[in-house]
Amino acid sequence: MMSDAAPALMPRYELHCHLDGSVRPSTVADLARLQGLTLNGPVERLVTAPVDCGSLTRFLTYIDVPLQVLQTPDALRRAARELVEDWSADDVVYGEVRFAPQLHGRRGMSQDEAVEAVSEGLAAGREATRVRTGLLLCCLRHQTAQESLAVAETALRHRDKVAGLDLAGDERLHSAAPHRAAFDLAHTAGLPCTVHAGEAAGPDSMWEAIEVLGARRIGHGVRCISDNALLERLQRDRIVLEMCPTSNIQTGAVPSLAAHPAARLLTSGLAVTINTDTRTTSATTLTKEFSSLREATGWTAEQEALVQAHAAGAAFASGPAAQVRPRQAGSDASASRRQPCR
C-alpha cells in the first residue's frame, strides 16, 4: 500500500544546483558591502524570482546581482562552503553544484582560479558537515565553440576536482551543436556530461543533447512528455532527468505544479530526479520541493525514495553516492553521513 506520509530522515541527493543561483541573500548583501557595491533595492527582491516569472530569460536576470559579487576567490569560496552547509541542513548527503567559471573573470580571476576557489569552498563545507560533493563546469549556449572548448579544457586540467561538464542556456535561441567539440573532448577523457534541454524548447533540444552531445543526464527535460520515441529512448538508455519543479513553473516550462510531468514519467519507468536548480532564485530547498509535490500531486514517500535512488545512481563524482545509507531516527546526523568523495 502506497503511503502519502513524508519520509522520515531520508537522505537526499541533489544533482542540479547552480552556485550563482544559490548564494544566501544575506551573503550577497555582505559581499556587496565588503566590495563597496551599492545594491539597487532590498537584496531579497533582487535575487529571488517571482512565482510568475514567465520565462527563462526573465528568471536569469535574478542571478545578475549574485554574479556581480562572485568575482573574487574569497567570495566563491564562501558561497560554495555555505551551499554545502545549506545542503546539510536540508538532509542532503550528496550534492553536485555547477557553475560557469568563464563568468567570474570581471576582475581578472582566471577560470583555473575560479575552479580552485569553488573546490576549496566545497572542501571546507565537506569537512564541517560530511556532505559529499561533486563539481560541474558549465559551457554556455550563447558563447562560442572556442569558449566552450576552453571550459572543457579547464575541467580536464582539474580532473581531480571536476566531476562533469554541462551546457546551460536558452535552447530556444541557441543550438547545442556548436559546442560538440567541447563535449567530444570531455567524452574522450571520460568526463561525464549533462545538458540543459527540454526546458525552454521542446523535444528536439533533448534529441540534440543526447545524439549530438552524448548527454548521460538532461537538465529539466520536462517537455519530453509529447514525444513517445524520445520517452522510449530515455527509458532504454536510462538517461536521467534532473527535474526542478519550482523553477520549471517560474520559467514557464510547465504551467503549474499539478501539471508537472515528474510523477507521470516516474510511473512510466523513467529515471526522474528532483532538484532545486537555484535555491535562492527559486527560494526553495529539497524539503520544500517534496512537500509541494505531496500537497499538489499526492506524491508519496515511495516516489521520493525512488527518485533518491535514481539520483544516487546517477552521481557524477567518484565513489558511489549510493553507499550513503538512510539515517535511523534518533541517530546522530553528522555521524551517519559517509566520508566526502573528494
Q: Which pTM does this prediction carry? A: 0.90
Identify whether 67 is part of a domain.
Answer: yes
% pLDDT > 70, the chain: 90
The β-bridge partners of 98 are 18, 136
Closest CA to 274 of 262, 282, 264, 265: 262
Within 10 Å of residue 225's Cβ, how many Cβ atoms? 17
Q: Any long-range contacts for 229-234 (C-beta under 8 Å, 24+ apart)?
A: 230/203, 230/206, 231/265, 231/268, 231/270, 234/270, 234/271
Identify whether 154 is part of a domain.
Answer: yes
Identify whether 330 is part of a domain.
Answer: no
96, 171, 199, 304: the active-site residue: 199
Identify whether 57 is part of a domain.
Answer: yes
Identify whether 69 is part of a domain.
Answer: yes
Identify whether 327 is part of a domain.
Answer: no
Domain with residue 129: its CATH number is: 3.20.20.140
Domain of residue 298 covers 12-317
Query: Is residue 319's pLDDT more than 80?
Result: no
Identify whether 17 is part of a domain.
Answer: yes
Give the pLDDT score at 320.
39
Domain count, the chain: 1
Q: Distance between CA 306 and CA 169 in Å, rounded?
A: 29
φ and ψ at 311, to 5 degrees? -65, -40
Kindly report, residue by residue over 48-102, the tens digit of the pLDDT: 999 888 888 899 899 999 999 999 999 999 999 999 999 999 999 999 999 999 9
Q: Distance between CA 221 and CA 53 in Å, rounded?
A: 19
Kindly report, residue by residue over 265-294, the tens digit of the pLDDT: 999 999 999 999 999 999 999 999 999 999
Residue 304 known to be catalytic: no
Give the pLDDT score at 337.
27
The string of DSSP letters for 163-179 reads -EEEEES-TTTS-SGGG
Place of cell 535555491: 279
Identify whether 331 is part of a domain.
Answer: no
φ and ψ at 194, to 5 degrees? -130, 155
Within 10 Å of residue 103's Cβ, how many Cβ atoms? 17
Kindly report, residue by residue over 2-34, the tens digit of the pLDDT: 344 444 567 899 999 999 999 999 999 999 999
Q: Distance between CA 179 and CA 70 in Å, rounded?
A: 25
